[in-house]
């Protein structure tokens, strides 16, 4: 956030990419992008390009991480070195990717039926190939589809998106330039069936009224995001059915 020369982000009610304040970027999801994974997906969310892959459930290793009552989830979010103009020369985990991996894992611990797989691990990989703001939300949305495609039982297919604040205005689904110069950023993940909030982070300051209004914007956008997630799964099942017909 911040920066010395702050560009105008909203001109005549329109954002720099032409969107209105509550408009999502275009989202496309494809199931089955990673051949060897149990479940996988590829998402294009605006200019973000992200792969999500699920492996397991399998015996949790090393043994001391095993939980005899339920499966554990291991999550590794990472940005590829070529994913943005910022320097990603140093590979391997950093503070930010460790944090995003942790909060993503916590989202899915709340919806995966972990008790069905005691002693196991479920591995979740989120790889950002191209980054343009909001990759944690897009990664969670893609991972939810990859998990659903893997057949691992879940109570719901969560989605995530963020709301930001520019001056006094709330804007949905910020891209990188908006994120850079915004006054606040609040990524939220939700289980659409129950409305339960599985992630809420906040960078910057929002009033309680703004948080409530932001969550309403996110829930509304969630209807569209959920539809895209479910449609991606439907298309993949139809493809499988087609194969059996032949």
Which of 133, 158 has the CB closer to ligand CDP?
133
Q: Is 49 in the site for ligand CDP (CB under 6 A)?
A: no
Between 100 and 111, name the residue whose CB sits nearer to ligand CDP.
Answer: 100
Residue from 46, 57, 133, 158 that binds ligand CDP (CB under 6 A)? 133
Q: Does 179 bind ligand CDP (CB under 6 A)?
A: yes
The backbone torsions φ and ψ at residue 218, rounded to the nearest 5 degrees and listed phi first, read -65, -40
The window from 35-43, 134-142, 145-153, 163-171 that contacts ligand CDP (CB under 6 A) reads 134-142
Q: Which is nearer to ligand CDP, 105 or 136 (CB)?
A: 136
45 versus 55: smaller Cβ distance to ligand CDP: 45
CA distances from 30 to 42, 44, 101 (A): 5, 9, 22
In the complex with ligand CDP, which residue's Cβ is closer, 137 or 154? 137
Q: Mark the segment that binds ligand CDP (CB under 6 A) among 7-15, 107-115, 127-135, 149-157.
A: 127-135
Interacting residue with ligand CDP among 41, 78, 101, 135 (CB under 6 A): 135
Pick from 29, 43, 131, 147 the residue near ligand CDP by CB under 6 A: 131
Residues 64-103 that bind ligand CDP (CB under 6 A): 79, 84, 86, 96
Calpha distance 182→170 (Å, rounded) = 10
- Least distance (Å) from ligand CDP to the CB of residue 66? 31
Q: Which residues bind ligand CDP (CB under 6 A)?
A: 79, 84, 86, 96, 131-136, 176, 179, 187
């Amino acid at each position: 956030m911040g920066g010395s020369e702050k560009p105008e982000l909203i001109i005549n009610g329109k954002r720099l990419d032409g969107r209105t304040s509550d408009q999502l970027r275009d989202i496309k999801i494809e199931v089955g992008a990673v051949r060897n994974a149990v479940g996988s997906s590829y998402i294009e969310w605006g200019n973000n390009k992200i792969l999500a892959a699920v492996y397991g459930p399998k015996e949790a290793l090393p043994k001391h991480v095993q939980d005899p009552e339920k499966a554990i989830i291991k999550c590794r979010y990472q940005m590829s070195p070529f994913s943005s103009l910022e320097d990603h020369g140093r590979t391997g985990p950093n503070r930010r990717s460790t944090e995003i991996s942790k909060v993503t894992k916590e989202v899915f611990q709340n919806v995966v039926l972990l008790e069905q797989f005691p002693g196991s691990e479920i591995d979740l990989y989120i790889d950002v190939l191209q980054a343009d703001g909001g990759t944690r939300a897009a990664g969670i949305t893609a991972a939810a589809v990859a998990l659903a495609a893997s057949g691992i039982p879940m109570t719901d297919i969560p989605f995530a998106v963020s709301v930001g604040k520019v001056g006094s205005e709330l804007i949905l689904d910020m891209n990188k330039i908006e994120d850079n110069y915004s006054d606040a950023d609040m990524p939220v993940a939700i289980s659409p069936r129950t409305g339960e909030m599985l992630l809420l982070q906040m960078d910057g300051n929002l009033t309680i009224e703004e948080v409530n209004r932001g969550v309403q914007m996110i829930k509304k956008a969630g209807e569209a995001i959920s539809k895209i997630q479910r449609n991606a799964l439907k298309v993949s099942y139809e493809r499988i059915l087609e194969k059996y017909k032949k």
